[in-house]
Structure 1
Amino acid sequence: MALSPFEPRRLLPRLLSLGALLCVLALALALPVPAHAVRIKEVAAVQGVRNNQLTGYGLVVGLDGTGDQTTQTPFTTQSLNAMLQQMGVTVPPGTTMQLRNVAAVMVTAVLPPFAVPGQAIDVNVSSMGNSKSLRGGTLVATPLKGADGQIYALAQGNLVVGGAGASANGSKVQINHLSAGRIPEGATVEREVATPLQQGEVLSLGLNAADFDTARQVAQAINRAKGTGTAMALDGRVVRVRMPVGAGERVAFLADIENLQLELARPAAKVVLNARTGSVVMNEAVTLGACAVAHGSLSVTINTTPQVSQPNAFGQGQTVVTQKSDISITQQGGNLVQMPAGTKLADVVKALNLLGATPQDLLAILQAMKSAGALNAELEVI
C-alpha cells in the first residue's frame, strides 16, 4: 500500500514528540535520586506548639435501660443530684432512685495548637460504671479541663457508638464495643492556649529523635536558605532559629524552613521486640556477624480424664468422681545452624528464616545473638 505525500508530514511531528519524551525520560533516570530525603517538618517541630489533653466527668442520659446500676455505682446518683440542684430541683433526702437510663462517663479530647474560642473539636466518651451500652445516649454539658485545672472546652451532644448488641433469657450477642463512643465536633473551645510563636527573637526546633547529625543538617539547611547565623544546633535535640519580627513574616518563614530538604544518613541499627505480641521489626542498618545457632522447641502436654469410683452394692460408701492427669514432655532436638555474616537486611532476614523459629522464639534468639556479639544492632523491648 503506497503512502500519500501528506502522510509523512503527519508522522514527522509524532516521531519528534516521541523522541523528545524518550530524551526526557533518559535524563530523569540519569539524575541522582537523593537517598533518605526528608523535609524538616518530618523530623522536627516548633517547641511549645503542641496538642493539649483535656478531660472531664459527665453524665450520659437517654439510654434505653442500659445505664449504670445505682446500687453498685453510687457516684452516678450523687452526680445526678448535684446537677439537679444546679437546675433548681431538690431531691428529698432518703429518696431511692433507680436510674437505668443514666451513665457516668469520662470525656476526653485533644486541644490542637492555635485553637481559638468557638472552634469545634472531637471528643471521646467512655463509661466509668457498669453501663451495658451507651448507644443512643446524649452527653449533658460537660466542662473539659486541662492540666492546670482551667476549663478550655465545653462538650455536649449525641454519641456515635460503633457497635450493636442484644440479650434475652441469659443469651447475649454483641458486636464491637458498646461502652465507649465518640461525638464528632462535640466540644466547643472556650479558651485559647498561648504559644511561643510570637514571643522573643528566637524559636527552638525540637527533633523527634535525638541525633547530632540530624541537628547539624537542619541548622545547615536553614543557614543555606536564610543566611549564615540564622540557625544553630545547641545539642542533638534542639536547634535554635532566629526569627523575623513581623507576625506574618514569621509564618512565612516557618513555612519555608519546614519544606527544606534534608539528606539524612542511614539511621542507627535497631531491632524492636514486642514481648506481648511477638512482633520483631528491624531497620535496614541491621547487620549480622557469622555465628552458629541451635534452636529446639519444648512442649508440655497435660491430659485430664475423669474417673468414677463407685462402691459395692451393699457398701456404705458414696460415688466419687476423680481426675486422672497424664503429663508428657516432648523436646524436639535443634540442629546447629551456621549463619553467615550479612551486611544487608535481606541477608539477615534470610539467615533468620533458616532457623524455622516462630516470632516468639526470635525474641530469645535475637537477645542471645546480641549477647554473643553477633547482632550489630540495638535491642529495644516494648
Structure 2
Amino acid sequence: MCDSNSKRPGLIRYLGLLVFCILVPGVALEAQPPGGVRLKDLARLATETDNAVVGYGIITGLAGTGDTARNTATLQSVRNMLLRFGVNVPADKVRTRNAAAVMVTATLPAYAQRGDKLDVNVTSLGDARSLVGGTLMLTPLAMADSDIYAFAQGPVSVGGFSYDLNGNLIQKNHPTAAYITSGATVDRSVQTVIIDASRSILYKLHEPDFETANRIVQSLTALLGEGQVKALDAARVQVSVPAAQAVDIVPFLTRVEGVEVVPDTPARVVVNERTGTVVSGGNVVISPITITHGNLNVAISTEFFVSQPLIVGSAVVDSDLSGIGTQVVPETTVEVTEELPLSVALPPGSKVADLVTALNKVKATSRDIITILQGIKRAGALHAELVIQ
C-alpha cells in the first residue's frame, strides 16, 4: 500500500505539466489541418448517370392559338389520335387552331423506379402563338435506344403570355414553352449497376485533380487497408469491395462515402466584368510587383451658334448684298482631366485578397481592379488561372 504522501510527487508533476500547457498555447494547441469534405460531396459513382428522355405529343384546349393548317404534321397527328378513339375524320376537315404539336423532354435520374414522378418541359414544334390553357395528351417518353421509360400527361404551366389585336402585340417571356410539375410517370425502372464483375466500384470526381485523387486514396486506404483503393487517373478512383461486404453493399458505401478528404483547390481567379465580382482561391500567390494605374479622361463638346448679319432686311439698295446670309458657326471645346494615378506595392507572398484590400483602400473601382488583374496576369506575376466571364 502507498500512503497519500507517496502520491504527491506524481500529482505535482501532473499539475506542473498542466500549468505549462496552459501558459504555452503553442504546445497545448497544435495547428489543426483544415476541415475535410465528405467523399460523397467530391465524387459520385461512375454508374450514377442521368438519362434524357424525349417524346412527341399534342396539346389540346388552346383558345385559337394553336398550329395553323399549314402544319401538316399537326393535322396528321390530330387525325391519328381521333382514329385511336374510333373517330374517322377526313384530313381536309381537320381543324387544329385549338391544338399544337410539341416536343416533350425530361431527365430520368439514376435509381428511378416504376411509379416515380418526373418534371417535364414542353416546347412548341409548329407555329402556335401560345400554349396557355392547354393540356398535354398522353405522350410516351423514350431514351436514345427507343425504349419507352415514362409517360407524360397533364395541364401545362406557361410562364408568359401573348395577346395580339388589330396588329398590336403584347408579349411576356416565351408563351410557346411550358412546364409540367410531376407531369411524367416512370413506367420502367432504371437498372443501375454498382459493383462490376471484378467486385469493385468506381468513383468519378466532380473536379478532376491528381492531388485530390491521391488524397482520396490515402483516406480510403486508412479505412479499408492496403491494396483496396487505386487511383486510375485524375478523375477516377477504384475501390475493391470485400466479399463479405458485397452481399450488403449499402452499409459499405455509407462508410466509404462518409470518409473526409481535404481537396486540393486549384489556383484560379474568376472575374465577372458585368458585375465587377472577383472570386479568388486562398492559395493564389502574386509575385513582388508594383502597380501604377491612372485614368485620362478627354471630353470634346461642340456647340452651334447662328450668325445673323444685321444688314439683312435693310433698305440699302445700292450696296452689293450677294454672299451675305445666315450662317451656322460651330464652337468646339476640349477638356482634359487626368486623375491621380493609383500606386500599390506588393511584398513577396501576397495574395489576391491582399491586392484587392490595398486597392479598395485607395478607392479603386471594380473595373480598375479587373483591369489591374489582367495586367498582372500578362506580366506573369499572377500565378493562377484567370477566368473572365
Q: Among residues 355, 359, 371, which one is paired with 2:378 in the alignment? A: 371
Q: Which amino acid aligns with 1:348?
A: L
CA contact (8 A) 2:295 2:341 kept: no
CA apart distance, 1:247: 5.5
Cα separation, partners in 2 of 1:102 and 1:291, compared to 1, 3 Å: farther
Query: Does structure 1 residue 356 correspond to structure 2 residue 330?
Result: no
Q: Among residues 231, 241, 244, which one is paired with 1:243 in the alignment? A: 241
Q: Which amino acid aligns with 1:76?
A: T
Q: Which runs of 5+ in 1 are unaligned?
A: 1-29, 306-326
Partner residue of 1:18?
none
Q: Which amino acid aligns with 2:249?
A: R
Partner residue of 2:263?
264
Cα separation, partners in 2 of 1:149 and 1:357, compared to 1, 3 Å: farther
Q: Among residues 208, 216, 220, which one is paired with 1:222 in the alignment? A: 220
Percent identical across equivalent pairs?
39
Q: Among residues 97, 100, 104, which one is paired with 1:100 in the alignment? A: 97
Q: How does 1:97-246 map to 2 (within 5 A)?
A: 97-163=94-160, 168-171=165-168, 173-174=170-171, 176-200=173-197, 201-245=199-243
CA contact (8 A) 1:145 1:153 kept: yes
Cα separation, partners in 2 of 1:31 and 1:362, compared to 1, 3 Å: closer
Q: Hey, what's the Cα distance between the residues in 2 that align with 1:278 and 1:102?
A: 47
CA apart distance, 1:168: 4.5
Cα separation, partners in 2 of 1:163 and 1:31, compared to 1, 3 Å: farther
Q: TM-score, normalised by structure 1?
A: 0.73
Partner residue of 1:339?
344
CA apart distance, 1:62: 0.9
Q: Hey, what's the Cα distance between the residues in 2 that align with 1:64 and 1:347?
A: 62
Cα separation, partners in 2 of 1:259 and 1:332, compared to 1, 3 Å: farther
Q: Which amino acid aligns with 1:81?
A: R
Q: Which amino acid aligns with 1:378?
A: E
Query: For 1:295-318, what per-residue CA distance to the aligned partner results, in whole angstroms no more than 9, with x for missing partners?
Result: 547799999x9xxxxxxxxxxxxx
Partner residue of 2:34?
35
Q: How does 1:6-21 map to 2 (within 5 A)?
A: none
Q: TM-score, normalised by structure 2?
A: 0.72
Q: Which runs of 5+ in 2 are unaligned?
A: 1-28, 305-331
Once structures 1 and 2 are overlaid, which stretch shifts more, 232-241 or 76-85? 76-85
Q: Hey, what's the Cα distance between the residues in 2 that align with 1:197 and 1:127?
A: 39
Query: For 1:299-358, what per-residue CA distance to the aligned partner results, in whole angstroms no more than 9, with x for missing partners?
Result: 99999x9xxxxxxxxxxxxxxxxxxxxx99998656543333272343132245457345
CA contact (8 A) 1:295 1:355 kept: no
Q: Which amino acid aligns with 2:111?
A: F
Q: Hey, what's the Cα distance between the residues in 2 that align with 1:283 and 1:329?
A: 45
Q: Hey, what's the Cα distance between the residues in 1 that align with 2:336 and 2:154?
A: 60
Once structures 1 and 2 are overlaid, which stretch shifts more, 346-355 or 146-155? 346-355
Once structures 1 and 2 are overlaid, which stretch shifts more, 242-251 or 104-113? 242-251
SS of 2:110's equivalent in the other structure is coil
SS of 2:122's equivalent in the other structure is strand
Q: Hey, what's the Cα distance between the residues in 1 that align with 2:72 and 2:280?
A: 50
SS of 2:248's equivalent in the other structure is helix
CA apart distance, 1:275: 6.5
Partner residue of 1:294?
293
CA contact (8 A) 1:291 1:374 kept: no
Q: Which amino acid aligns with 2:102?
A: V
Q: Which amino acid aligns with 1:185?
A: S
CA contact (8 A) 1:36 1:264 kept: no
CA contact (8 A) 2:79 2:94 kept: no
CA contact (8 A) 2:150 2:187 kept: yes
CA apart distance, 1:96: 6.0
CA contact (8 A) 2:100 2:124 kept: yes
Partner residue of 1:312?
none
Q: Hey, what's the Cα distance between the residues in 1 that align with 2:104 and 2:337?
A: 53
CA apart distance, 1:170: 4.8
Cα separation, partners in 2 of 1:282 and 1:147, compared to 1, 3 Å: farther
Q: Which amino acid aligns with 1:148?
A: D
Q: Hey, what's the Cα distance between the residues in 1 that align with 2:251 and 2:73?
A: 52
- CA root-mean-square deviation: 3.6
Q: Which amino acid aligns with 1:227?
A: G
CA contact (8 A) 1:278 1:363 kept: yes
Partner residue of 1:313?
none
Greater Rg by CA: 2
How many residues matched? 329
Q: Hey, what's the Cα distance between the residues in 2 that align with 1:363 and 1:77?
A: 56
